Structure 1
Protein backbone atom coordinates (compact mmCIF):
# COMPACT_ATOMS: atom_id res chain seq x y z
CA UNK A 1 0.00 0.00 0.00
CA UNK A 2 1.17 3.56 -0.59
CA UNK A 3 2.86 5.47 2.22
CA UNK A 4 0.27 7.46 4.20
CA UNK A 5 0.42 11.23 4.33
CA UNK A 6 3.02 12.48 6.83
CA UNK A 7 5.33 9.47 6.53
CA UNK A 8 8.65 10.23 4.84
CA UNK A 9 11.41 7.93 3.72
CA UNK A 10 14.84 8.43 2.19
CA UNK A 11 14.48 5.20 0.21
CA UNK A 12 12.73 5.78 -3.14
CA UNK A 13 9.65 3.81 -4.15
CA UNK A 14 9.10 2.50 -0.64
CA UNK A 15 5.78 0.85 0.22
CA UNK A 16 4.13 -0.45 3.39
CA UNK A 17 3.47 -4.12 3.98
CA UNK A 18 -0.19 -4.76 4.78
CA UNK A 19 -0.45 -7.27 7.62
CA UNK A 20 -4.22 -7.11 8.12
CA UNK A 21 -6.91 -6.07 5.67
CA UNK A 22 -9.60 -3.68 6.90
CA UNK A 23 -13.00 -2.71 5.53
CA UNK A 24 -12.76 0.09 3.02
CA UNK A 25 -9.37 -0.80 1.58
CA UNK A 26 -9.14 -1.70 -2.10
CA UNK A 27 -7.97 -5.26 -1.40
CA UNK A 28 -10.30 -5.91 1.56
CA UNK A 29 -12.98 -7.81 -0.36
CA UNK A 30 -10.41 -9.85 -2.28
CA UNK A 31 -8.52 -10.81 0.86
CA UNK A 32 -11.74 -11.71 2.65
CA UNK A 33 -12.96 -14.01 -0.11
CA UNK A 34 -9.51 -15.57 -0.49
CA UNK A 35 -9.41 -16.50 3.20
CA UNK A 36 -12.98 -17.81 3.16
CA UNK A 37 -12.50 -19.90 0.00
CA UNK A 38 -9.18 -21.32 1.26
CA UNK A 39 -10.90 -22.33 4.49
CA UNK A 40 -13.67 -24.11 2.58
CA UNK A 41 -11.26 -25.81 0.21
CA UNK A 42 -9.33 -27.11 3.21
CA UNK A 43 -12.52 -28.91 4.35
CA UNK A 44 -13.01 -30.56 0.97
CA UNK A 45 -15.44 -28.11 -0.62
CA UNK A 46 -15.11 -27.51 -4.34
CA UNK A 47 -15.59 -24.06 -5.82
CA UNK A 48 -17.84 -23.98 -8.87
CA UNK A 49 -16.17 -22.70 -12.02
CA UNK A 50 -19.55 -21.50 -13.33
CA UNK A 51 -20.61 -19.57 -10.22
CA UNK A 52 -17.61 -18.64 -8.08
CA UNK A 53 -19.78 -17.89 -5.05
CA UNK A 54 -21.00 -21.52 -4.94
CA UNK A 55 -19.12 -24.25 -3.02
CA UNK A 56 -20.25 -27.88 -3.00
CA UNK A 57 -19.20 -31.08 -1.27
CA UNK A 58 -20.48 -34.54 -2.11
CA UNK A 59 -19.84 -37.93 -0.56
CA UNK A 60 -21.73 -40.80 -2.16
CA UNK A 61 -25.41 -39.92 -1.70
CA UNK A 62 -24.73 -37.04 0.69
CA UNK A 63 -24.51 -33.52 -0.71
CA UNK A 64 -23.90 -30.08 0.80
CA UNK A 65 -23.97 -26.71 -0.96
CA UNK A 66 -22.81 -23.34 0.36
CA UNK A 67 -23.67 -20.04 -1.34
CA UNK A 68 -21.82 -16.82 -0.45
CA UNK A 69 -22.85 -13.19 -0.84
CA UNK A 70 -20.08 -11.01 0.67
CA UNK A 71 -20.29 -12.16 4.31
CA UNK A 72 -23.77 -13.73 4.22
CA UNK A 73 -23.91 -17.48 3.65
CA UNK A 74 -26.62 -20.04 2.89
CA UNK A 75 -26.09 -23.71 3.70
CA UNK A 76 -28.21 -26.46 2.17
CA UNK A 77 -27.93 -30.22 1.89
CA UNK A 78 -29.08 -33.63 3.07
CA UNK A 79 -26.17 -34.25 5.47
CA UNK A 80 -26.98 -32.61 8.80
CA UNK A 81 -23.73 -33.72 10.42
CA UNK A 82 -21.71 -32.03 7.66
CA UNK A 83 -23.78 -28.85 8.01
CA UNK A 84 -23.16 -28.78 11.78
CA UNK A 85 -19.45 -29.44 11.20
CA UNK A 86 -18.96 -26.63 8.69
CA UNK A 87 -20.82 -24.19 10.93
CA UNK A 88 -18.55 -25.02 13.85
CA UNK A 89 -15.46 -24.60 11.69
CA UNK A 90 -16.59 -21.25 10.27
CA UNK A 91 -17.45 -20.05 13.76
CA UNK A 92 -13.96 -20.92 15.02
CA UNK A 93 -12.32 -19.06 12.13
CA UNK A 94 -14.67 -16.11 11.54
CA UNK A 95 -16.97 -15.98 14.60
CA UNK A 96 -20.21 -16.33 12.63
CA UNK A 97 -23.80 -15.77 13.76
CA UNK A 98 -26.11 -18.73 13.10
CA UNK A 99 -29.60 -17.49 12.14
CA UNK A 100 -31.12 -20.97 11.98
CA UNK A 101 -33.50 -22.16 9.28
CA UNK A 102 -33.56 -19.91 6.24
CA UNK A 103 -36.47 -17.45 6.44
CA UNK A 104 -35.04 -14.11 5.31
CA UNK A 105 -31.99 -13.43 3.14
CA UNK A 106 -31.00 -10.09 1.58
CA UNK A 107 -34.60 -8.92 1.37
CA UNK A 108 -35.91 -12.27 0.10
CA UNK A 109 -38.54 -13.97 2.26
CA UNK A 110 -38.57 -17.78 2.26
CA UNK A 111 -41.66 -19.73 3.34
CA UNK A 112 -41.92 -23.51 3.47
CA UNK A 113 -44.90 -25.86 3.41
CA UNK A 114 -45.55 -29.51 2.64
CA UNK A 115 -46.21 -28.45 -0.98
CA UNK A 116 -42.96 -26.56 -1.63
CA UNK A 117 -41.06 -23.31 -1.11
CA UNK A 118 -42.27 -19.77 -1.77
CA UNK A 119 -39.98 -16.80 -2.41
CA UNK A 120 -41.21 -13.21 -2.27
CA UNK A 121 -40.13 -9.68 -1.30
CA UNK A 122 -43.30 -8.52 0.43
CA UNK A 123 -41.50 -6.54 3.16
CA UNK A 124 -39.21 -4.92 0.58
CA UNK A 125 -42.23 -3.97 -1.58
CA UNK A 126 -44.07 -2.40 1.36
CA UNK A 127 -40.91 -0.47 2.28
CA UNK A 128 -40.67 0.84 -1.28
CA UNK A 129 -44.31 1.93 -1.27
CA UNK A 130 -44.00 3.53 2.16
CA UNK A 131 -40.87 5.52 1.26
CA UNK A 132 -42.42 6.82 -1.96
CA UNK A 133 -45.83 7.68 -0.46
CA UNK A 134 -47.72 5.10 -2.54
CA UNK A 135 -48.77 2.89 0.35
CA UNK A 136 -52.36 4.18 0.17
CA UNK A 137 -52.47 4.88 -3.56
CA UNK A 138 -55.10 3.51 -5.92
CA UNK A 139 -53.86 0.17 -7.30
CA UNK A 140 -53.86 -0.83 -10.98
CA UNK A 141 -54.03 -4.27 -12.59
CA UNK A 142 -51.10 -3.97 -15.03
CA UNK A 143 -47.58 -2.47 -14.73
CA UNK A 144 -47.83 -0.66 -18.08
CA UNK A 145 -50.50 0.67 -20.40
CA UNK A 146 -51.13 -1.74 -23.27
CA UNK A 147 -49.25 -0.91 -26.49
CA UNK A 148 -47.44 1.98 -24.78
CA UNK A 149 -43.84 2.46 -25.96
CA UNK A 150 -41.63 4.75 -23.91
CA UNK A 151 -39.12 6.90 -25.80
CA UNK A 152 -37.22 10.16 -25.58
CA UNK A 153 -39.96 12.72 -26.13
CA UNK A 154 -40.23 16.49 -25.87
CA UNK A 155 -42.25 16.50 -22.65
CA UNK A 156 -41.16 18.44 -19.56
CA UNK A 157 -38.00 17.03 -17.93
CA UNK A 158 -38.58 15.47 -14.54
CA UNK A 159 -37.23 17.79 -11.84
CA UNK A 160 -35.53 15.14 -9.66
CA UNK A 161 -33.23 12.89 -11.69
CA UNK A 162 -31.64 11.36 -8.57
CA UNK A 163 -34.99 10.22 -7.19
CA UNK A 164 -35.92 8.64 -10.53
CA UNK A 165 -32.65 6.68 -10.61
CA UNK A 166 -33.07 5.54 -7.02
CA UNK A 167 -36.59 4.25 -7.66
CA UNK A 168 -35.59 2.39 -10.82
CA UNK A 169 -32.66 0.86 -8.93
CA UNK A 170 -35.00 -0.38 -6.21
CA UNK A 171 -37.33 -1.81 -8.84
CA UNK A 172 -34.40 -3.69 -10.38
CA UNK A 173 -33.79 -5.46 -7.08
CA UNK A 174 -37.49 -6.28 -6.78
CA UNK A 175 -37.32 -8.20 -10.09
CA UNK A 176 -35.33 -10.92 -8.26
CA UNK A 177 -38.70 -12.49 -7.39
CA UNK A 178 -41.02 -10.50 -9.67
CA UNK A 179 -40.59 -11.48 -13.35
CA UNK A 180 -43.83 -9.60 -14.08
CA UNK A 181 -41.88 -6.35 -13.51
CA UNK A 182 -38.90 -7.17 -15.74
CA UNK A 183 -40.15 -5.61 -18.98
CA UNK A 184 -41.50 -2.45 -17.35
CA UNK A 185 -38.28 -1.96 -15.38
CA UNK A 186 -36.22 -2.52 -18.53
CA UNK A 187 -38.20 0.19 -20.28
CA UNK A 188 -37.80 2.68 -17.41
CA UNK A 189 -34.07 2.06 -17.03
CA UNK A 190 -33.37 3.42 -20.53
CA UNK A 191 -34.00 7.02 -19.43
CA UNK A 192 -31.86 7.30 -16.31
CA UNK A 193 -29.80 10.18 -17.72
CA UNK A 194 -32.70 12.43 -18.70
CA UNK A 195 -36.13 11.28 -17.50
CA UNK A 196 -39.23 13.27 -18.36
CA UNK A 197 -42.57 13.65 -16.63
CA UNK A 198 -44.03 10.93 -18.87
CA UNK A 199 -41.32 8.50 -17.78
CA UNK A 200 -42.01 9.34 -14.14
CA UNK A 201 -45.71 8.85 -14.74
CA UNK A 202 -44.97 5.37 -16.11
CA UNK A 203 -42.82 4.73 -13.04
CA UNK A 204 -45.65 5.66 -10.69
CA UNK A 205 -47.95 3.23 -12.50
CA UNK A 206 -45.50 0.41 -11.72
CA UNK A 207 -45.60 1.42 -8.05
CA UNK A 208 -49.41 1.36 -8.09
CA UNK A 209 -49.25 -2.10 -9.68
CA UNK A 210 -47.00 -3.26 -6.84
CA UNK A 211 -49.59 -1.87 -4.43
CA UNK A 212 -52.15 -4.23 -5.98
CA UNK A 213 -49.87 -7.29 -5.73
CA UNK A 214 -47.31 -6.62 -2.95
CA UNK A 215 -46.80 -10.29 -2.08
CA UNK A 216 -46.34 -11.70 -5.56
CA UNK A 217 -43.44 -14.12 -5.75
CA UNK A 218 -42.22 -17.50 -6.95
CA UNK A 219 -43.40 -20.96 -5.91
CA UNK A 220 -41.18 -24.05 -6.20
CA UNK A 221 -43.22 -27.25 -5.76
CA UNK A 222 -41.73 -30.40 -4.26
CA UNK A 223 -42.99 -32.77 -6.95
CA UNK A 224 -41.50 -31.62 -10.26
CA UNK A 225 -39.49 -33.10 -13.07
CA UNK A 226 -35.79 -32.27 -13.45
CA UNK A 227 -36.02 -30.98 -17.00
CA UNK A 228 -35.14 -27.55 -18.39
CA UNK A 229 -37.81 -25.88 -20.50
CA UNK A 230 -36.94 -22.68 -22.34
CA UNK A 231 -39.22 -20.03 -23.84
CA UNK A 232 -37.95 -17.01 -25.77
CA UNK A 233 -39.57 -14.22 -27.73
CA UNK A 234 -38.79 -10.87 -29.31
CA UNK A 235 -40.51 -7.85 -30.75
CA UNK A 236 -39.20 -6.19 -33.90
CA UNK A 237 -37.75 -2.68 -33.94
CA UNK A 238 -40.32 -1.27 -31.52
CA UNK A 239 -37.81 1.03 -29.82
CA UNK A 240 -38.69 4.40 -31.37
CA UNK A 241 -35.27 5.90 -30.53
CA UNK A 242 -32.90 3.19 -31.83
CA UNK A 243 -35.17 0.79 -33.74
CA UNK A 244 -33.64 -2.07 -31.80
CA UNK A 245 -35.65 -5.10 -30.73
CA UNK A 246 -36.19 -6.36 -27.19
CA UNK A 247 -35.47 -9.98 -26.30
CA UNK A 248 -37.17 -11.88 -23.55
CA UNK A 249 -36.78 -15.39 -22.19
CA UNK A 250 -37.74 -17.52 -19.22
CA UNK A 251 -36.35 -20.86 -18.03
CA UNK A 252 -38.24 -23.51 -16.11
CA UNK A 253 -36.81 -26.43 -14.18
CA UNK A 254 -39.85 -28.66 -14.42
CA UNK A 255 -42.66 -26.35 -13.29
CA UNK A 256 -40.37 -23.95 -11.42
CA UNK A 257 -39.32 -20.64 -12.95
CA UNK A 258 -35.59 -20.24 -12.25
CA UNK A 259 -34.31 -17.63 -14.74
CA UNK A 260 -35.73 -14.79 -16.85
CA UNK A 261 -34.60 -11.65 -18.65
CA UNK A 262 -35.91 -8.74 -20.70
CA UNK A 263 -33.20 -6.81 -22.54
CA UNK A 264 -32.72 -4.62 -25.61
CA UNK A 265 -30.66 -6.26 -28.33
CA UNK A 266 -27.21 -4.91 -29.22
CA UNK A 267 -27.87 -4.74 -32.95
CA UNK A 268 -30.62 -3.47 -35.24
CA UNK A 269 -32.33 -6.54 -36.68
CA UNK A 270 -33.25 -6.29 -40.34
CA UNK A 271 -36.18 -8.71 -40.03
CA UNK A 272 -38.42 -10.20 -37.40
CA UNK A 273 -36.75 -13.58 -37.98
CA UNK A 274 -33.33 -12.11 -37.19
CA UNK A 275 -34.71 -10.57 -33.99
CA UNK A 276 -36.17 -13.96 -32.99
CA UNK A 277 -32.86 -15.72 -33.63
CA UNK A 278 -31.01 -13.17 -31.50
CA UNK A 279 -33.44 -13.84 -28.65
CA UNK A 280 -33.06 -17.58 -29.12
CA UNK A 281 -29.25 -17.33 -29.11
CA UNK A 282 -29.30 -15.40 -25.84
CA UNK A 283 -31.65 -17.94 -24.28
CA UNK A 284 -29.51 -20.83 -25.51
CA UNK A 285 -26.47 -19.39 -23.74
CA UNK A 286 -28.48 -19.21 -20.52
CA UNK A 287 -29.61 -22.82 -20.93
CA UNK A 288 -26.04 -23.95 -21.45
CA UNK A 289 -24.94 -22.17 -18.28
CA UNK A 290 -27.81 -23.73 -16.32
CA UNK A 291 -26.77 -27.22 -17.44
CA UNK A 292 -23.22 -26.54 -16.19
CA UNK A 293 -24.64 -25.29 -12.87
CA UNK A 294 -26.85 -28.35 -12.50
CA UNK A 295 -23.79 -30.56 -12.89
CA UNK A 296 -22.28 -28.82 -9.86
CA UNK A 297 -25.45 -29.84 -7.99
CA UNK A 298 -24.96 -33.44 -9.24
CA UNK A 299 -28.09 -33.21 -11.40
CA UNK A 300 -27.50 -34.74 -14.86
Structure 2
Protein backbone atom coordinates (compact mmCIF):
# COMPACT_ATOMS: atom_id res chain seq x y z
CA UNK A 1 0.00 0.00 0.00
CA UNK A 2 1.54 3.38 -0.98
CA UNK A 3 2.40 5.83 1.80
CA UNK A 4 0.63 9.23 2.14
CA UNK A 5 3.82 10.97 0.92
CA UNK A 6 3.89 8.81 -2.22
CA UNK A 7 0.20 9.49 -2.84
CA UNK A 8 0.81 13.24 -2.42
CA UNK A 9 3.78 13.14 -4.77
CA UNK A 10 1.79 11.09 -7.29
CA UNK A 11 -1.09 13.56 -7.19
CA UNK A 12 1.27 16.53 -7.52
CA UNK A 13 2.96 15.02 -10.57
CA UNK A 14 -0.43 14.16 -11.98
CA UNK A 15 -1.48 17.79 -11.71
CA UNK A 16 1.70 18.86 -13.45
CA UNK A 17 3.42 20.50 -10.39
CA UNK A 18 6.05 18.41 -8.58
CA UNK A 19 5.71 18.29 -4.79
CA UNK A 20 9.17 19.79 -4.16
CA UNK A 21 8.28 22.73 -6.37
CA UNK A 22 5.04 23.32 -4.49
CA UNK A 23 7.03 23.26 -1.25
CA UNK A 24 9.37 25.86 -2.72
CA UNK A 25 6.43 28.08 -3.62
CA UNK A 26 5.07 27.76 -0.08
CA UNK A 27 8.49 28.61 1.38
CA UNK A 28 8.80 31.75 -0.74
CA UNK A 29 5.24 32.67 0.16
CA UNK A 30 6.06 32.45 3.88
CA UNK A 31 9.27 34.43 3.43
CA UNK A 32 7.74 37.14 1.26
CA UNK A 33 6.51 39.41 4.14
CA UNK A 34 9.98 39.41 5.71
CA UNK A 35 11.68 39.95 2.36
CA UNK A 36 9.26 42.77 1.55
CA UNK A 37 10.07 44.40 4.90
CA UNK A 38 13.81 44.11 4.26
CA UNK A 39 13.41 45.58 0.78
CA UNK A 40 11.19 48.42 1.97
CA UNK A 41 12.99 49.39 5.18
CA UNK A 42 16.60 48.25 4.64
CA UNK A 43 17.75 47.65 1.08
CA UNK A 44 15.47 50.28 -0.45
CA UNK A 45 16.74 53.17 1.72
CA UNK A 46 20.31 51.89 1.38
CA UNK A 47 20.19 51.89 -2.42
CA UNK A 48 18.42 55.27 -2.39
CA UNK A 49 21.16 56.75 -0.19
CA UNK A 50 23.84 55.43 -2.56
CA UNK A 51 21.97 56.97 -5.51
CA UNK A 52 21.56 60.32 -3.70
CA UNK A 53 25.34 60.48 -3.42
CA UNK A 54 25.42 61.25 -7.15
CA UNK A 55 23.18 64.30 -6.79
CA UNK A 56 23.36 67.81 -5.38
CA UNK A 57 20.21 68.32 -3.31
CA UNK A 58 19.15 70.59 -0.46
CA UNK A 59 15.58 69.22 -0.08
CA UNK A 60 14.00 72.53 -1.19
CA UNK A 61 15.26 72.57 -4.78
CA UNK A 62 15.20 69.82 -7.44
CA UNK A 63 18.02 67.29 -7.50
CA UNK A 64 20.95 68.04 -9.80
CA UNK A 65 23.01 65.12 -11.07
CA UNK A 66 26.72 65.75 -10.37
CA UNK A 67 28.13 62.29 -11.04
CA UNK A 68 30.93 61.25 -8.71
CA UNK A 69 31.63 64.81 -7.54
CA UNK A 70 30.38 64.19 -3.98
CA UNK A 71 32.56 61.09 -3.65
CA UNK A 72 35.61 62.91 -5.04
CA UNK A 73 34.95 65.86 -2.72
CA UNK A 74 34.80 63.47 0.21
CA UNK A 75 38.39 62.33 -0.30
CA UNK A 76 39.54 65.97 -0.47
CA UNK A 77 37.68 66.93 2.70
CA UNK A 78 39.97 67.21 5.77
CA UNK A 79 36.93 67.05 8.06
CA UNK A 80 36.03 63.62 6.68
CA UNK A 81 39.44 62.26 7.69
CA UNK A 82 39.24 63.99 11.06
CA UNK A 83 35.79 62.58 11.86
CA UNK A 84 36.87 59.11 10.70
CA UNK A 85 39.92 59.35 12.97
CA UNK A 86 37.75 60.37 15.95
CA UNK A 87 35.38 57.48 15.21
CA UNK A 88 38.21 54.94 15.02
CA UNK A 89 39.68 56.33 18.25
CA UNK A 90 36.35 55.86 20.00
CA UNK A 91 35.98 52.33 18.58
CA UNK A 92 39.46 51.35 19.79
CA UNK A 93 38.71 52.68 23.28
CA UNK A 94 35.22 51.26 23.62
CA UNK A 95 35.16 47.84 21.94
CA UNK A 96 38.18 46.07 23.55
CA UNK A 97 37.49 47.51 27.00
CA UNK A 98 33.81 46.54 26.88
CA UNK A 99 34.58 42.97 25.82
CA UNK A 100 37.29 42.57 28.49
CA UNK A 101 35.27 44.11 31.34
CA UNK A 102 32.18 42.14 30.35
CA UNK A 103 34.09 38.86 30.44
CA UNK A 104 35.44 39.64 33.92
CA UNK A 105 31.95 40.61 35.12
CA UNK A 106 30.49 37.40 33.71
CA UNK A 107 33.16 35.25 35.39
CA UNK A 108 32.43 36.94 38.73
CA UNK A 109 28.66 36.68 38.30
CA UNK A 110 29.01 33.01 37.46
CA UNK A 111 30.53 32.30 40.88
CA UNK A 112 29.01 34.65 43.46
CA UNK A 113 25.78 34.31 45.42
CA UNK A 114 22.77 36.50 44.55
CA UNK A 115 23.89 36.43 40.92
CA UNK A 116 20.37 37.27 39.70
CA UNK A 117 20.35 40.51 41.71
CA UNK A 118 23.74 41.65 40.41
CA UNK A 119 22.87 40.55 36.88
CA UNK A 120 19.82 42.80 36.99
CA UNK A 121 21.85 45.62 38.55
CA UNK A 122 24.50 45.54 35.82
CA UNK A 123 21.92 45.13 33.06
CA UNK A 124 19.80 48.15 34.04
CA UNK A 125 22.05 50.86 32.47
CA UNK A 126 21.80 49.19 29.06
CA UNK A 127 18.00 49.42 29.04
CA UNK A 128 17.95 53.04 30.21
CA UNK A 129 17.28 55.73 27.62
CA UNK A 130 20.52 57.01 26.12
CA UNK A 131 19.43 60.63 26.42
CA UNK A 132 18.63 60.24 30.13
CA UNK A 133 21.91 58.42 30.78
CA UNK A 134 23.85 61.09 28.90
CA UNK A 135 22.24 63.88 30.93
CA UNK A 136 23.16 62.12 34.18
CA UNK A 137 26.76 61.77 33.03
CA UNK A 138 26.81 65.43 32.03
CA UNK A 139 26.25 66.20 35.70
CA UNK A 140 28.85 63.65 36.78
CA UNK A 141 31.43 65.18 34.43
CA UNK A 142 30.67 68.79 35.39
CA UNK A 143 34.08 70.38 36.13
CA UNK A 144 32.79 72.53 39.00
CA UNK A 145 30.30 70.45 41.00
CA UNK A 146 30.36 67.09 39.26
CA UNK A 147 30.55 63.92 41.33
CA UNK A 148 34.00 62.84 40.13
CA UNK A 149 35.68 66.23 40.49
CA UNK A 150 34.06 66.78 43.89
CA UNK A 151 35.59 63.50 45.06
CA UNK A 152 38.99 64.45 43.61
CA UNK A 153 38.78 67.84 45.31
CA UNK A 154 38.38 66.16 48.70
CA UNK A 155 41.80 64.57 48.23
CA UNK A 156 43.36 67.75 46.84
CA UNK A 157 43.84 66.23 43.38
CA UNK A 158 43.69 68.09 40.09
CA UNK A 159 40.21 68.26 38.57
CA UNK A 160 40.19 67.29 34.86
CA UNK A 161 37.91 68.98 32.35
CA UNK A 162 36.49 65.63 31.15
CA UNK A 163 34.13 66.29 28.23
CA UNK A 164 35.16 69.95 28.19
CA UNK A 165 38.80 69.01 27.53
CA UNK A 166 39.58 68.26 23.83
CA UNK A 167 42.07 65.57 24.90
CA UNK A 168 39.70 63.81 27.31
CA UNK A 169 36.31 64.18 25.65
CA UNK A 170 36.40 60.96 23.59
CA UNK A 171 37.84 58.80 26.43
CA UNK A 172 35.21 60.28 28.77
CA UNK A 173 32.37 59.30 26.45
CA UNK A 174 33.93 55.87 25.92
CA UNK A 175 34.01 55.42 29.72
CA UNK A 176 30.34 56.31 29.95
CA UNK A 177 29.53 53.89 27.10
CA UNK A 178 31.54 51.18 28.88
CA UNK A 179 29.46 51.67 32.03
CA UNK A 180 26.27 51.59 30.01
CA UNK A 181 27.02 48.63 27.75
CA UNK A 182 29.19 46.21 29.71
CA UNK A 183 26.28 44.74 31.69
CA UNK A 184 24.37 43.88 28.53
CA UNK A 185 27.44 42.28 26.97
CA UNK A 186 28.17 40.35 30.17
CA UNK A 187 24.82 38.54 29.85
CA UNK A 188 26.02 36.92 26.61
CA UNK A 189 29.25 35.84 28.28
CA UNK A 190 27.34 34.49 31.27
CA UNK A 191 25.23 32.30 28.98
CA UNK A 192 28.40 31.04 27.27
CA UNK A 193 30.11 30.29 30.60
CA UNK A 194 27.17 28.24 31.81
CA UNK A 195 27.48 26.04 28.72
CA UNK A 196 31.09 25.06 29.52
CA UNK A 197 31.14 21.52 30.99
CA UNK A 198 32.20 21.46 34.64
CA UNK A 199 34.38 18.39 34.12
CA UNK A 200 36.74 20.43 31.93
CA UNK A 201 37.59 22.64 34.92
CA UNK A 202 37.78 19.63 37.24
CA UNK A 203 40.32 17.96 34.96
CA UNK A 204 42.39 21.16 34.93
CA UNK A 205 42.25 21.38 38.73
CA UNK A 206 43.49 17.80 39.02
CA UNK A 207 46.44 18.79 36.82
CA UNK A 208 47.17 21.68 39.21
CA UNK A 209 45.98 24.56 37.02
CA UNK A 210 45.69 27.94 38.75
CA UNK A 211 42.64 30.20 38.44
CA UNK A 212 44.51 32.33 35.89
CA UNK A 213 45.45 29.24 33.83
CA UNK A 214 41.84 28.04 33.83
CA UNK A 215 40.65 31.47 32.73
CA UNK A 216 43.22 31.88 29.95
CA UNK A 217 43.47 28.29 28.67
CA UNK A 218 39.88 27.08 29.15
CA UNK A 219 37.40 29.92 29.59
CA UNK A 220 38.74 32.34 26.98
CA UNK A 221 39.01 29.74 24.15
CA UNK A 222 35.62 28.18 24.90
CA UNK A 223 33.81 31.53 24.89
CA UNK A 224 35.66 32.75 21.78
CA UNK A 225 32.57 32.36 19.53
CA UNK A 226 30.71 34.70 21.88
CA UNK A 227 33.70 37.07 21.88
CA UNK A 228 33.67 37.11 18.09
CA UNK A 229 29.94 37.86 18.00
CA UNK A 230 30.29 40.67 20.55
CA UNK A 231 33.25 42.18 18.70
CA UNK A 232 31.20 42.32 15.50
CA UNK A 233 28.10 43.77 17.18
CA UNK A 234 29.96 46.33 19.31
CA UNK A 235 32.19 47.40 16.46
CA UNK A 236 29.24 48.05 14.15
CA UNK A 237 27.40 49.89 16.92
CA UNK A 238 30.36 52.05 17.95
CA UNK A 239 31.07 53.07 14.35
CA UNK A 240 27.52 54.43 14.34
CA UNK A 241 27.91 56.31 17.64
CA UNK A 242 25.81 59.46 17.51
CA UNK A 243 23.20 60.03 20.21
CA UNK A 244 25.62 60.22 23.14
CA UNK A 245 27.91 62.63 21.28
CA UNK A 246 24.93 64.72 20.20
CA UNK A 247 23.52 65.08 23.72
CA UNK A 248 26.80 65.51 25.61
CA UNK A 249 29.12 67.47 23.32
CA UNK A 250 27.51 68.23 19.93
CA UNK A 251 30.88 67.44 18.39
CA UNK A 252 32.82 69.77 20.68
CA UNK A 253 34.90 71.24 22.13
CA UNK A 254 35.61 72.52 18.65
CA UNK A 255 35.56 69.41 16.46
CA UNK A 256 37.33 67.18 18.97
CA UNK A 257 34.39 64.76 19.30
CA UNK A 258 32.88 64.99 15.84
CA UNK A 259 32.35 61.38 14.82
CA UNK A 260 31.68 60.41 11.23
CA UNK A 261 27.98 59.85 11.88
CA UNK A 262 27.71 63.24 13.60
CA UNK A 263 29.45 64.84 10.61
CA UNK A 264 26.88 63.14 8.35
CA UNK A 265 24.11 64.60 10.53
CA UNK A 266 25.59 68.09 10.30
CA UNK A 267 25.77 67.92 6.51
CA UNK A 268 22.28 66.47 6.13
CA UNK A 269 20.24 68.42 8.68
CA UNK A 270 22.21 71.60 9.33
CA UNK A 271 23.79 72.36 5.97
CA UNK A 272 21.07 70.50 4.02
CA UNK A 273 23.73 69.03 1.78
CA UNK A 274 21.84 65.77 1.34
CA UNK A 275 23.90 64.49 -1.58
CA UNK A 276 27.21 64.88 0.22
CA UNK A 277 25.78 63.39 3.43
CA UNK A 278 24.59 60.39 1.41
CA UNK A 279 28.05 59.87 -0.04
CA UNK A 280 29.50 59.99 3.49
CA UNK A 281 26.91 57.43 4.61
CA UNK A 282 27.86 55.13 1.74
CA UNK A 283 31.53 55.31 2.66
CA UNK A 284 30.73 54.61 6.33
CA UNK A 285 28.71 51.58 5.26
CA UNK A 286 31.59 50.32 3.12
CA UNK A 287 34.09 50.84 5.97
CA UNK A 288 31.91 48.78 8.33
CA UNK A 289 31.45 46.04 5.71
CA UNK A 290 35.19 45.93 5.00
CA UNK A 291 36.15 45.67 8.69
CA UNK A 292 33.49 43.00 9.24
CA UNK A 293 34.86 40.94 6.34
CA UNK A 294 38.38 41.24 7.76
CA UNK A 295 37.12 40.09 11.15
CA UNK A 296 35.42 37.07 9.60
CA UNK A 297 38.69 36.14 7.91
CA UNK A 298 40.78 36.60 11.07
CA UNK A 299 38.36 34.67 13.31
CA UNK A 300 39.45 31.42 11.67
CA UNK A 301 42.75 31.75 13.53
CA UNK A 302 41.45 32.36 17.06
CA UNK A 303 37.79 31.33 17.38
CA UNK A 304 37.33 27.81 18.77
CA UNK A 305 34.14 25.94 17.90
CA UNK A 306 33.28 22.77 19.79
CA UNK A 307 32.71 19.76 17.55
Q: Is the shorter-chain TM-score for this pair beyond 0.5, marking a shared fold?
A: no
Q: Which has the higher contact order (CA 8 A, sep 6+)?
A: 2
Give 1 or 2 for the bigger CA radius of gyration. Answer: 2
Structure with more of its chain in strand, by fraction:
1
Range class of TM-score, shorter chain: under 0.3
TM-score computed with the length of structure 2 as normaliser: 0.24
Greater helix proportion: 2
